[in-house]
Structure 1
């Protein structure tokens, strides 16, 4: 099935900073644009890291001068608590996605890396956008009619070579109910798996013709 691409969901208006951007300027940018992190790019606009609110907050518990909090162990040289610019504050390397990644690819990397957003780069590794968890969840805002059409045209017709009349497809709030009798060459698990691969599907239920009341 053809999932939506990262380029369809990403935001291309990305606030970014350079390695030498001062601490306070980064803090102002996060507040001004109501964002929780900002990518750090090099002179060619290639991402080299990310500075988040959590990175900045280390300055507080470490003290403005980088000194440890009362009772805490001494901080080693080069810690984020003693950093004054993006180069010292950032988490590196940056985790990036390609524009042509599917929402499934992006979600898998976010889950594996336990991060809330991915920087999106083009084929020259330049920053072109950012995609967040909330962006990916937009696939579940697809209308039931659109989901039903894709299941019929892509799963039944193109993939399984079934006539639309062979299967009744009902979709309510992303819940797909399939009713009918399948030919011998098509298994219920295979059909359900195809339907679950459609963006916006929340659940899939198969009913035989008898169970659906026909």
Structure 2
């Protein structure tokens, strides 16, 4: 039986990230290089920690109520300056369903994109209406969508 060395088992390309690397970028690297963890290094390249797939998974295991609160408080109220009572945000297993009415049609994709960027959101179902179509002339009414 041949003796194996670390070189036989290791990932040939060294992949590391710095402390401020976005989680989505780290997830992409883990998939691209088919690795289960990545070292986190400081500006000098010294190891300060290791981030694993299971660590990243914790982001997506947020409680539905926490996701709903973040969307209502941060996205709807602070970022978009909308009344939280104008939208209904339902979250089930990370799936967000948005309903209610926004003032302009051009706000709909903005609301959707901001909600999709919230940690733990798996997908967003759009059931939003709008009061005014500011996107195109002759556009469909909200009930024709």
TM range (shorter): 0.7 to 0.9
| Higher RCO (CA < 8 A, seq sep 6+) | 1
**Which of structure 1's runs of 4+ aligned residues deviate more than 4 A?**
88-93
* TM-score between both structures, scaled by the size of structure 1: 0.54
What is the aligned-residue RMSD (CA, Å)? Answer: 2.3
* TM-score between both structures, scaled by the size of structure 2: 0.76
Output one character per residue of 1:76-135: Cα deviation in whole Å (capped at 9) or x when no partner.
xxxxx5x5xx5x555455210111222112112222323221111112211111111121
The answer on 1:113 being equivalent to 2:113 is no
Counterpart in the other structure of 2:23 = 103
Cα distance between partner residues in 1 of 2:44 and 2:103:
48
Contact 2:95 2:121 in 1 (8 A): yes
Cα distance between partner residues in 1 of 2:80 and 2:106:
7
Larger-gyration structure (1/2): 1
Greater strand fraction, Structure 1 or Structure 2: 2
Counterpart in the other structure of 2:112 = 192
Counterpart in the other structure of 2:133 = none
Change (3 A) 1:163 1:152: same
Unaligned ranges ≥5, structure 1 = 1-59, 65-80
Counterpart in the other structure of 2:49 = 129
The counterpart of 2:92, out of the listed 168, 172, 183, is 172
TM-aligned CA deviation for residue 190 of structure 1: 2.1
SS in 2 for 1:199: coil
Output one character per residue of 1:42-79: Cα deviation in whole Å (capped at 9) or x when no partner.
xxxxxxxxxxxxxxxxxx6xx23xxxxxxxxxxxxxxx
Counterpart in the other structure of 2:64 = 144
Unaligned ranges ≥5, structure 2 = 130-141
SS in 1 for 2:102: coil
TM-aligned CA deviation for residue 180 of structure 1: 0.6
